[in-house]
A and B are shown apart, each in its own frame.
Chain A
Amino acid sequence: AQKITQTQPGMFVQEKEAVTLDCTYDTSDPSYGLFWYKQPSSGEMIFLIYQGSYDQQNATEGRYSLNFQKARKSANLVISASQLGDSAMYFCAMREDETGANNLFFGTGTRLTVIP
């Protein structure tokens, strides 16, 4: 079974608007970490934000916030005030702290296009 599911292959958003990228995960580990990465056309994976499974509050990093709903096993990324430079692939990933501390499981990604 897929550990990380991203159901949106592509998303469009108007510049300066907010957008939500969906991510659901599957694990039986009580302790895990959730990550979002951005991959521009240059290829490198850029770390955006992290949420630990025991964190009480949703993570925020500048214009990025993570809407963590543990019971629903979802970890959606919210980008506020979109900019043209936000156009890229976005990947959700999970690390299971007890069974696979060295392995990040990735989803298939969402291609975000910001429209001027």
Chain B
Amino acid sequence: ETGVTQTPRHLVMGMTNKKSLKCEQHLGHNAMYWYKQSAKKPLELMFVYNFKEQTENNSVPSRFSPECPNSSHLFLHLHTLQPEDSALYLCASSQGGYKRGYGYTFGSGTRLTVV
């Protein structure tokens, strides 16, 4: 256990479904992130939240909608996805702001398959 918990671990959904991914951390971190990991591509940053405020949206389609109700929880709401959205979605947290030497703590990811 890394301290960052993601649920569910696996998700299969149709293109017309609505589902949500959940991420929870109890490390006292102030920043949380969503990354997308597709096969043979670098991890892509999707969203960044600092102290519950969204500070970055990396040109992500609107069918992905993040929500951060508090510093410990992060959601990714999904609707009308496309098959190319199938990927591993990783959540991470960090101390936030600029902290030299601080990397991210990642969860185990949600493996999403869109059919």
Question: Which A residues lie at the B interface, using CB under 8 A?
Answer: 2, 4, 33, 35, 37, 42-47, 50, 52, 91, 93, 97, 101-109
Q: Are A44 and B2 in contact (CB under 8 A)?
A: yes
Contact indicator per residue, chain B 89-115, by CB within 8 Å of chain A (1) or not (0):
010100011101101111111010000
Q: List 21 A-B pairs, Cβ < 8 Å.
A: A37-B103, A43-B9, A43-B109, A43-B111, A44-B2, A44-B107, A44-B108, A45-B106, A47-B103, A50-B101, A97-B98, A97-B100, A101-B97, A102-B50, A102-B55, A102-B56, A103-B48, A104-B43, A104-B103, A106-B42, A108-B41
Chain B positions near chain A (C-beta within 8 angstroms): 2, 9, 31, 33, 40-43, 45, 48, 50, 55-56, 88, 90, 92, 96-98, 100-101, 103-109, 111
- A97 nearest in chain B by CB position: B98
Known contacts A43-B111, A44-B109, A45-B90: A101-B43 contact under CB 8 Å = no
The secondary-structure label for the interface of chain B is loop
What does DSSP make chain A's interface, helix, strand, loop or mixed? Answer: strand
